[in-house]
Amino acid sequence: MRHWRGPSDRQGYHHGNLKEALIEAAQRFIAERGIGGFTLADAAKLVGVTPAALYRHFRGREALVAEVAFRGYDELAKRLGRALQSEGTALERFTRMGEAYLAFAEQEPGFYAAMFSAKPAESESCSPFWAKAVESGGKPAGNAFDFLVKALADTFPEGFQTVDARFIAVEVWALSHGIATLDAAGQLPKGPGLPDKYELLRAGVLALVHGALKGKS
């Protein structure tokens, strides 16, 4: 199988790497126009292929979006895992995880939107963010939530006395998600005297953790 080397590389009848190219195109359009604004026709056109070609690789539109979301969960978990295993003190690594989360949401809005955009009211969908670890090519990949819990345990080895570490992990995640989405929507107040989102998350997380270390009040 030949390798796909760029849009101008298309020579013959076969694309060579259509599936990946479509995922990339979908990710890009979701980033630009949101989940609702993304269309199969645009993705196919960008990649230089007939819309029908898509059905060789995906069951339909929904499946393509789901695949983007899946890749997103994978990528986010990878980034958080990398931050967790980076150099420095435990606190530094923990802080780095927060930065990595916000950076991911900012740099990969297509992924983020696919992962977290509210689904039309179905039954309770469980989230790959915290669901049981997903197998990825044979080796068990940790989910993002587990990385977060682990980071909390590493960073504050004295432990949480009266509080489940998962409790704090949810708080930290919710704060991160709130900051990321408000920022993406352009709704975070900005101005002199107001911190940027990274400072916002750092200070907030410290407060949440220290509040918990003293026990629930």
| Residue ranges that bind DNA, judged by CB under 7 A | 1-2, 11-16, 18, 38-42, 48-57, 60-62
Q: Minimum CB separation from its own copies for residue 103, in Å?
A: 17
Question: CA-to-CA distance for 52 and 167, rounded, in angstroms?
Answer: 47
> Which of left, alpha, beta for 87 (phi over 0: left; psi -120 to 50: alpha)?
beta
Q: In Å, what is the CA distance from 187 to each residue of 84, 118, 181, 199?
A: 30, 18, 9, 16
Kindly give, in sequence order, each residue whose CB lies less than 8 Å from that of residue 52, ignoring residues fewer than 6 positions away: none
Pick 59 or 214: Cβ nearer its own copies: 214
Binding flags for its own copies, 133-162, as an x/- string (CB under 8 A): ------------x-----------------
Q: Minimum CB separation from DNA for residue 112, in Å?
A: 20
> Which of left, alpha, beta for 206 (phi over 0: left; psi -120 to 50: alpha)?
alpha
Q: Using CB under 8 A, which of 89, 127, 136, 161 touches its own copies?
A: 127
Residue 95 binding: pick among DNA, its own copies, none (C-beta 5-8 Å cut-off by kind): none
| Binding segment (CB under 8 A) for its own copies, from list 13-21, 76-84, 93-101, 118-126 | 118-126
